[in-house]
Amino acid sequence: MVITRIGPLSVAKVAAVLYAGIGLIIGAFVSLAAMAGAMFIPREEGGMFGAIFGVAAIIVVPLFYAVLGFIGTFIAAALFNVAVGITGGVEVDVK
């Protein structure tokens, strides 16, 4: 079997979901670190900013990862199709 083309949009959608999951895990750790740091800063000096940043990390980081994962994978899949057109394809043995 020879792979001669992949659909960039379909691959990018799958990658976006995977990257969003990774971003959710990383966002949870960022949130925990920000909330823990906010406990040690007095309110007068901006301790509330750390708490707000911690909560926002759960939303912003997965979206950021999903968007960048989608764009990066879309570009990589399109470049893959160009390279496959030049080289003739990727040989895959399936049993």
Query: Length of the chain, please?
Result: 95
Return d(Cα 34, Cα 55) in angstroms, integer: 9
Q: Is residue 95 in some structural domain?
A: no
- How many domains does the chain divide into? 1
The parent domain of residue 53 ranges over 8-90
Q: Is residue 1 in some structural domain?
A: no
- Tell me, what's the pLDDT at 42? 66
pLDDT per residue over 49-77, tens digit each?
A: 766 777 788 899 999 999 999 999 999 99
Q: Is residue 2 in some structural domain?
A: no
- Tell me, what's the pLDDT at 75? 97
Structure tokens at 70: 């989608």
Going by C-beta distance under 8 Å and a sequence separation of 6 or more, which residues neighbour residue 89?
Answer: 2, 3, 4
| Kind plus residue range of the DSSP H or E element containing 90 | strand 90-91
